[in-house]
């Protein structure tokens, strides 16, 4: 579902809201529309529609949930930033997780905050993001500070023993996310290869990469990680 309101006059900062919970989405829209310099130009409820809406509406800021039907928010953020580097992506999530924060910021997010953020705080975050700052928790960073923050957190998660810790913590590629979704739904390598029309060896190669990036030992741990972070949702409509 994509909703567009073309009746309001243009304001300074245009905002697109992406969340699959109608009550939260509508409440967020009403809260933001109290601000004179913010205009909610559209809302949508899944990742694919978010990309379409972003291309059509060209908002300055996108408020983006991570746990979405179809493409998750991290995938959406990465693609949005590759298409429009100037757009500010503010990730809103129901819970805080250090690895997920790192994934989100490395995927191009300008800010990461939990959904119980106050409207006043969110408005400040939006303005900071528009002016090129990065916000995690109560920390406000410029580009250089963000790079230091990412390096420190990558090292903390990957371990100081790593010669190049960035190699041990890299966001999954779109294809790896796709394969991880199949794994989470219980498909074998052979079944995945058939679905994707690729060789079993290619699937195995991708699985090796997935396990390394997630720092887990086997497919089960990878599936649990995907579910815990909200990258895959078992209730989504599954491929027939």
Q: What is the pLDDT of residue 239?
A: 55
Domain span including residue 219? 172-229
Looking at the structure, do residues 78 and 129 belong to the same domain, yes or no? yes
pTM of the complete model: 0.69
Looking at the structure, do residues 113 and 225 belong to the same domain, yes or no? no
Looking at the structure, do residues 25 and 102 belong to the same domain, yes or no? yes
Output phi, psi for 39, to 5 deg: -130, 120
Cβ distance 133 to 142 under 8 Å? yes
The string of pLDDT tens digits covering residues 37-78 is: 999 999 999 989 999 999 999 999 999 998 887 788 888 998
Task: State how beta strands 38-44 and 134-136 pair.
Answer: unpaired
Domain assignment present for 157 = no
Looking at the structure, do residues 125 and 215 belong to the same domain, yes or no? no
Which of 149, 182, 202 lies at the terminal end of a domain, its last residue? 149
Looking at the structure, do residues 123 and 188 belong to the same domain, yes or no? no
Say how many Å lie between the first and final Cα of the chain, rounded.
22
Domain assignment present for 158 = no
- Gap between the Cα atoms of 112 and 31, Å rounded: 19
Q: What is the pLDDT of residue 236?
A: 52
E strand segments, the chain: 2-4, 13-18, 38-44, 61-65, 88-93, 111-114, 134-136, 139-141
Which of 149, 184, 199 lies at the terminal end of a domain, its last residue? 149
E strand segments, 66-180: 88-93, 111-114, 134-136, 139-141
- Gap between the Cα atoms of 22 and 43, Å rounded: 10
The string of pLDDT tens digits covering residues 78-130 is: 889 989 999 999 999 887 777 788 888 988 999 999 999 999 999 999 999 99
Instruction: Give me the number of domains the chain comprises.
Output: 2
Domain assignment present for 34 = yes
Domain assignment present for 58 = yes
| CATH at residue 18 | 3.40.50.2300
With tokens 């420190």, the residue in question is 152
Which of 116, 149, 182 lies at the terminal end of a domain, its last residue? 149
| CATH at residue 187 | 1.10.10.10
Cβ distance 2 to 55 under 8 Å? no
Exposure class string for 48-85: b at 16+ Cβ within 10 A, else e: ebbbebbeebebbbbbbbbbbebbbbbbbbbbbbeeee
With tokens 């009746």, the residue in question is 7
Task: State how beta strands 2-4 and 13-18 pair.
Answer: unpaired
């Amino acid at each position: 579902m994509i909703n567009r309101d073309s009746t309001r006059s243009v304001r300074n900062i245009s905002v697109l809201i992406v969340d699959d919970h109608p009550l939260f989405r509508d409440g967020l829209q009403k809260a933001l529309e109290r601000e004179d310099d913010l205009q909610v130009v559209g809302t949508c409820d899944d990742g694919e529609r978010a990309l379409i809406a972003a291309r059509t509406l060209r908002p300055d800021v996108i408020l983006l949930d991570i746990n979405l039907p179809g493409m998750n928010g991290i995938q959406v953020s990465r693609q949005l930033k590759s298409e429009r580097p100037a757009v500010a992506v503010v990730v809103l999530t129901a819970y805080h997780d250090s690895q997920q924060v790192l994934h989100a910021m490395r995927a191009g997010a300008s800010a990461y905050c939990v959904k119980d953020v106050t409207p006043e705080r969110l408005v400040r975050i939006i303005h900071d993001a528009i002016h090129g700052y990065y916000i995690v928790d109560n920390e406000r960073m410029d580009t250089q500070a963000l790079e230091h923050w990412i390096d420190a957190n990558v090292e903390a998660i990957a371990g100081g023993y790593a010669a190049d810790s960035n190699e041990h913590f890299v966001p999954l590629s779109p294809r790896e996310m796709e394969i991880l979704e199949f794994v989470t739904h219980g498909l074998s390598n052979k079944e995945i290869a058939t679905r994707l029309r690729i060789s079993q060896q290619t699937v195995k190669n991708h699985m090796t990469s997935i396990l390394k990036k997630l720092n887990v030992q086997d497919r089960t741990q990878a599936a649990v990680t995907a579910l815990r972070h909200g990258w895959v949702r078992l209730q989504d409509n599954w491929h027939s």
